Amino acid sequence: MTTYQTSEVAAIVGIHPNTVRLYEKSELLPKPERNGYRVFTDFHVEQCRLIRIAFQVERLQNGLRKKIVSMLKASAQGAFDVALLRIDESLNQLGRERRNAEEAIEIVTRRLSCEQPPRGMRGGCSYFVPHAIRIRQNAAFIKKNRPCGNPQGRFLIR
């Protein structure tokens, strides 16, 4: 079994040694054995890689970060069945968020092409009904605008 010191794990994974210590303190890494220094194994190196991959997502929201942290902690403790369950939950949530984003893109595309709005939506080809846009605010390309003469505060596509 190959063993590593903190600085070696950090160099292999491409992170700062303090980050390895932070992962351990946050219980994302299992506590390594000690002989005066921390003694890490290949499992620790792979767990660090898993942590890096899990946190590469720029924006984790809607509880997804908590699920990922829960998955990483379960993996660190060797509870791989729980870790897989958390991964499945995260994938389901991501699927829902993707469908919502695709729906928002479809609506924006339809509105930009000046097609007839869906039943219940009103306004010309450059306006959205406010409640509909608030539901889809995760689509960052839609910005709120209150131009002069638009006291209703409708949303413009930019």
Q: What is the pLDDT of residues 63-117, one digit of tens each?
A: 777 888 889 999 999 999 999 998 898 888 888 888 888 887 876 676 676 655 5
- Beta-bridge mates of residue 37: none
- At residue 111, the pLDDT reads 60
- Considering the domain boundaries, does residue 132 fall inside one? no
Structure tokens, 30 = 């299992």
Amino acid at 25: K
- Considering the domain boundaries, does residue 42 fall inside one? yes
- Considering the domain boundaries, does residue 99 fall inside one? no
Number of domains into which the chain is organized: 1
Averaged confidence pLDDT in the chain? 76
Domain coverage including residue 34: 1-56
- Considering the domain boundaries, does residue 26 fall inside one? yes
What's the CATH code of the domain at 40? Answer: 1.10.1660.10
- Considering the domain boundaries, does residue 12 fall inside one? yes
- Considering the domain boundaries, does residue 27 fall inside one? yes
Banded pLDDT at 131 (limits 50, 70, 90)? very low
- Considering the domain boundaries, does residue 69 fall inside one? no
pTM, full prediction: 0.55
- Considering the domain boundaries, does residue 14 fall inside one? yes
